[in-house]
C-alpha cells in the first residue's frame, strides 16, 4: 500500500479542482494547471480534497498511484503558492542582468549568453549575482533553473559558476608543490 497515495490532497481556500476522464484541472489564484493520469488510477474530487485510488492490484497501478497523487499535490501547490528557485553566481566578472524578457549572462565565455525565459516562467535578477526563477509549474521552473545553471556549473576548486542557493559545493584541494 502506498503511504503517499492513501492521503487525499487537501484543496486550500480559493482553489478548485475538476476531473474529466483522466484529466485533472486545478484552478487557483495564480492560474490553471492540468495533469492527465494513466488508466491505472481513478481520481475523484470531494468537497475540499482530491483522492487517488489504484485500479487493480498490479505493480504498475501501485506505482502510478503515489506518483499521480504527488502530481495532483504539485498542481495544487503551484496554483496556490507557486514555485521559486534561487541561483547564485560566484566568480570574478561573472554577472547577470535582465533586458526585457532576456537574461544576459556574463560568465567568462568569449560571448555573453542570452537566455530567453519561456512562457509561464518569470526570471529576475535583483542583484548581479542572484537569479530568481518563479512560476506555477514545478517541472518548468526546475528545468529553466537547470538550463541556466548548465551554462557554467560550479567547479570544485574555487567554487566559480552558477549554483543553487542551498547547494553545497564539495571542495577539492589544489596541487601541492
Tell me the per-residue pLDDT of 74-117, one tens digit each, with 9 for 90 and over: 999 999 999 999 999 999 999 999 998 999 999 999 999 999 99
Q: Which residues pair with residue 114 across a beta bridge? A: 104
Output the pTM of the full model.
0.89
Strand order in the sheet with 102-106: 95-99, 102-106, 113-116
Residue 1, pLDDT score: 65
Q: Helices 59-80 and 138-149 meet at what angle, rounded to 10?
A: 80
Domains of the chain: 3-80 (3.90.930.12), 83-164 (3.90.930.12)
Instruction: Give pLDDT, residue 4.
Output: 87
Distance CA 23, CA 17 (A): 10
CA distance 167 to 8: 32
pLDDT of residue 5: 86
Tens digit of each residue's pLDDT, the chain (177 residues): 678 888 999 999 999 999 999 999 999 999 999 999 999 999 999 989 999 999 999 999 988 999 999 999 999 999 999 999 999 999 999 999 999 899 999 999 999 999 999 999 999 999 999 999 999 999 999 999 999 999 999 999 998 999 999 999 999 998 888
**R_g (Cα) of the chain, nearest Å:** 21
Amino acid at each position: 500500500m502506498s503511504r503517499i497515495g492513501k492521503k487525499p490532497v487537501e484543496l486550500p481556500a480559493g482553489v478548485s479542482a475538476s476531473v474529466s476522464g483522466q484529466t485533472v484541472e486545478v484552478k487557483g489564484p495564480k492560474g490553471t494547471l492540468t495533469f492527465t493520469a494513466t488508466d491505472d488510477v481513478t481520481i475523484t474530487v470531494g468537497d475540499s480534497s482530491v483522492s487517488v485510488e489504484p485500479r487493480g492490484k498490479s505493480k504498475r497501478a501501485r506505482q502510478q498511484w503515489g506518483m499521480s497523487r504527488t502530481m495532483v499535490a504539485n498542481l495544487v501547490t503551484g496554483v496556490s503558492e507557486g514555485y521559486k528557485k534561487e541561483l547564485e553566481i560566484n566568480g570574478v566578472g561573472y554577472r547577470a542582468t535582465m533586458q526585457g524578457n532576456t537574461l544576459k549572462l556574463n560568465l567568462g565565455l568569449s560571448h555573453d549568453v542570452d537566455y530567453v525565459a519561456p512562457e509561464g516562467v518569470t526570471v529576475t535578477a535583483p542583484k548581479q549575482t542572484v537569479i530568481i526563477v518563479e512560476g506555477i509549474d514545478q517541472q518548468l521552473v526546475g528545468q529553466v533553473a537547470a538550463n541556466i545553471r548548465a551554462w557554467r556549473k560550479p567547479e570544485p576548486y574555487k567554487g566559480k559558476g552558477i549554483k543553487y542557493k542551498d547547494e553545497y559545493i564539495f571542495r577539492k584541494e589544489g596541487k601541492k608543490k
